[in-house]
């Protein structure tokens, strides 16, 4: 008996590509695509190359080489679409299981006038020798004029206690003109002992103090957008988020008066972000509240190890919507400030 029923077409792959291009690569073997790029995909890749820059694309290819080598066997026999999907799953797995993200914590403000608490920002816990610090942005700690800053404790949010330091305001008197935006707390023993057990304090092996990496790569900003937080009575619900993107071009640093030796600028198009969680292009939450959160680097060294631990390399400070850029200050700048204020620690640490 002849079966006249039509075969149901496979669903289109959930990829960060135009629908026509995604459909075109559905059945094309990866080995074929590596020899000749499908016509429908070629203009998409050309546009990406122009936007990102050929030098940055080459750097990223080199940085991710260890990861491609590790999973090469899993891509054998795949179509281009299946390879895209599998690589997206690998990225999602790395992000979901990365242990260093646990050092990024929510920062809450308890207002003096109302005694109400609200999520306002993020911070990162690190240890230098025998001292524990919470790093964040100076525009976050400026909020101490309005109340008390809190971080997760064993029995709910607790006050930050210890020594505090931040960048002075620039001559303009406006924190928005502060290009570094550095602030930190040296936490006292009582605060450290009472941290929420889920918080991780990063040690030297999990941080990168590289001032100006030779290669440009992908960075992941981690934190707690305040628009996703909810206050219910005395409890505060927080929503941890990560945004990953390619590093910006040198010209984009120049336009904002930034330098690669001090800053990290990463592309972030809110209205067309590919969500590895939802497997589609989405409108991402506004990053307000990510300030003070950790910035982690997809480095060649970290991707060569397994399991992967993305090292902390910076602290988020700003979002420039008109340029679609997330901005961070490099971790080495924070460490320089700490050593300047605590020269004895610099000697002990060999700084």
Q: What pLDDT, on a 0 to 100 scale, did the predictor assign at position 88? A: 85
pLDDT at 12: 42
Residue 314 DSSP SS3: strand
CA atoms within 13 Å, Cβ hemisphere of 203:
3
Structure tokens given for 248: 């910006």
Give the pLDDT score at 4.
38
Task: Look at residues 261, 256, 316 and name the one whose alpha carbon lies nearest to residue 289.
Answer: 316
Token duo for residue 225: 């957008």
Give me the residue label for tokens 């991710």: 64
Going by pLDDT thresholds of 50, 70 and 90, the confidence category of residue 25 is confident
| Contact status, residue 270 vs residue 324, Cβ threshold 8 Å | yes
CB 105 within 8 A of CB 122: yes
Look at residue 46 and tell me whether its pLDDT is greater than 80.
yes
Reduce the secondary structure of 258-282 to three states and give it as a string: CCCCCEEEEECCHHHEEECCCCEEE
pLDDT tier, 19 (very low <50, low <70, confident <90, very high otherwise): confident
Strand 230-232 versus strand 162-166 pairing type: unpaired
Contact 105, 124 (CB under 8 A): yes
Residue 214 clears pLDDT 90, i.e. is over it: no
Q: Are 243 and 326 in contact (CB under 8 A)?
A: yes
Q: Is the pLDDT of residue 13 over 50?
A: no
Q: Which residues contact 258 (CB under 8 A, 6 or more apart)?
A: 179, 265, 327
Q: Which domains does the chain have, with CATH numbers?
A: 100-349 (2.40.10.120)
Residue 33 CA, chain-centre distance (Å), reads: 31
E strand or H helix that includes residue 107: strand 104-111
62 in Cβ contact with 215 (< 8 Å): yes
Q: Which pLDDT score, from 0 to 100, does residue 9 have? A: 42
- Shortest CA distance to 279 belongs to which of 11, 13, 10? 13
Higher pLDDT: 151 or 57? It is 151
| Dihedral sign (CA 300, 302, 303, 306) | positive
Place of tokens 């602030």: 183
Burial letters 196-213, b for 16+ CB under 10 A, else e: eeebbbbeeebbbbeeeb
Does the pTM surpass 0.75? The reply is yes
160 pLDDT band, cuts 50/70/90, is very high
Mean pLDDT for 130-134 is 97
Per-residue confidence at 136, pLDDT binned at 50, 70, 90? very high
In angstroms, rounded to a whole number, what is the distance separating the alpha carbons of residues 46 and 37?
11
């Amino acid at each position: 008996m002849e079966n006249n029923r039509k075969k149901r077409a496979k669903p289109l792959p959930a990829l960060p590509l135009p629908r026509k291009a995604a459909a075109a690569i559905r059945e094309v073997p990866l080995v074929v695509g590596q020899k000749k790029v499908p016509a429908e995909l070629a203009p998409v890749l050309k546009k990406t190359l122009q936007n990102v820059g050929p030098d940055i694309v080459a750097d990223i290819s080199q940085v991710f080489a260890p990861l491609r080598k590790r999973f090469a066997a899993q891509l054998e026999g795949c179509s281009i679409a299946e390879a895209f999907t599998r690589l997206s799953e690998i990225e999602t797995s790395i992000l979901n299981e990365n242990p260093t993200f646990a050092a990024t914590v929510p920062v809450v403000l308890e207002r003096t006038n109302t005694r109400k608490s609200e999520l306002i920002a993020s911070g990162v816990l690190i240890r230098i020798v025998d001292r524990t610090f919470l790093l964040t942005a100076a525009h976050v700690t400026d909020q101490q004029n309005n109340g008390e800053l809190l971080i997760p404790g064993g029995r709910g949010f607790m006050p930050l206690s210890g020594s505090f330091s931040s960048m002075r305001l620039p001559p303009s008197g406006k924190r928005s003109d502060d290009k570094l935006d550095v602030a930190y707390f040296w936490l006292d023993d009582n605060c450290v002992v009472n941290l929420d057990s889920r918080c991780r304090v990063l040690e030297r092996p999990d941080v990168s103090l590289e001032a100006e990496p030779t290669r440009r790569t992908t960075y992941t900003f981690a934190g707690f957008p305040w628009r996703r937080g909810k206050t219910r009575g005395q409890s505060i619900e927080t929503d941890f988020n990560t945004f990953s993107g390619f590093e910006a071009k040198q010209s984009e640093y120049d336009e904002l008066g930034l330098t690669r030796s001090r800053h990290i600028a990463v592309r972030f198009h809110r209205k067309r972000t590919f969500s590895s969680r939802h497997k589609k292009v989405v409108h991402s939450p506004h990053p307000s509240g990510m300030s003070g959160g950790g910035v982690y680097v997809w480095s060649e060294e970290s991707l060569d190890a397994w399991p992967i631990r993305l090292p902390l390399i910076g602290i988020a400070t700003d979002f420039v919507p008109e340029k679609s850029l997330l901005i961070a200050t490099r971790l080495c700048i924070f460490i320089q400030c700490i050593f300047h204020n605590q020269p004895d620690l610099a000697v002990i640490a060999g700084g």
